[in-house]
């Protein structure tokens, strides 16, 4: 499984980010423009994940997104885990939306 840093993903224009956190987590903070599919729903909602571009997978600290990236790779999708998740994104000073649903 490949992984990358939040800074590297942010530098990619039009990066497709899949957020596998729960809706309650999105209510606290989120990245604008992500595809939001909780990890527990990923198998059923796989058709919502683009198969024609690299998908960067994010969760809170990186554990769930690593699982999701491995699953997506097994399905033939080019998936990359974002190391450190949303916590690392925040610590890097990258833009977040606080509160509200995506």
Topology of domain 2-98 in CATH is: Oxidized Rhodanese; domain 1 (3.40.250)
Q: Please state the pTM of the whole predicted model.
A: 0.95
Among 59, 69, 80, 86, the one annotated catalytic: 59
Domain regions of the chain by residue span? 2-98
Catalytic residue list contains 52? no
| Nearest partner of 27 among 102, 97, 100, 86, judged by Cα | 100
Burial letters 54-66, b for 16+ CB under 10 A, else e: ebbbbbbebebbb
Write the pLDDT tens digit of every residue in 35-52.
999 999 999 999 999 999
> What SS3 state is found at 86?
helix
Write the pLDDT tens digit of every residue in 66-97.
999 999 999 999 999 999 999 999 999 999 99
78, 47 Cβ separation under 8 angstroms: no
β-bridge mates for residue 29, sequence order: 98
């Amino acid at each position: 499984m490949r992984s990358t840093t939040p800074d590297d993903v942010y530098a990619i224009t039009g990066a497709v980010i899949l957020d596998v956190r729960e809706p309650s987590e999105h209510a606290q903070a989120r990245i604008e423009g992500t595809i939001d599919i909780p990890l527990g729903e990923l198998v059923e909602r796989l058709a919502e994940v683009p198969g024609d571009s690299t998908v960067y997978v994010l969760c809170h600290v990186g554990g769930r997104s690593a699982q999701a990236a491995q699953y997506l790779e097994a399905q033939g999708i080019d998936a990359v885990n974002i190391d450190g998740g949303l916590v690392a994104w925040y610590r890097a000073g990258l833009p977040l939306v606080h509160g509200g649903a995506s």
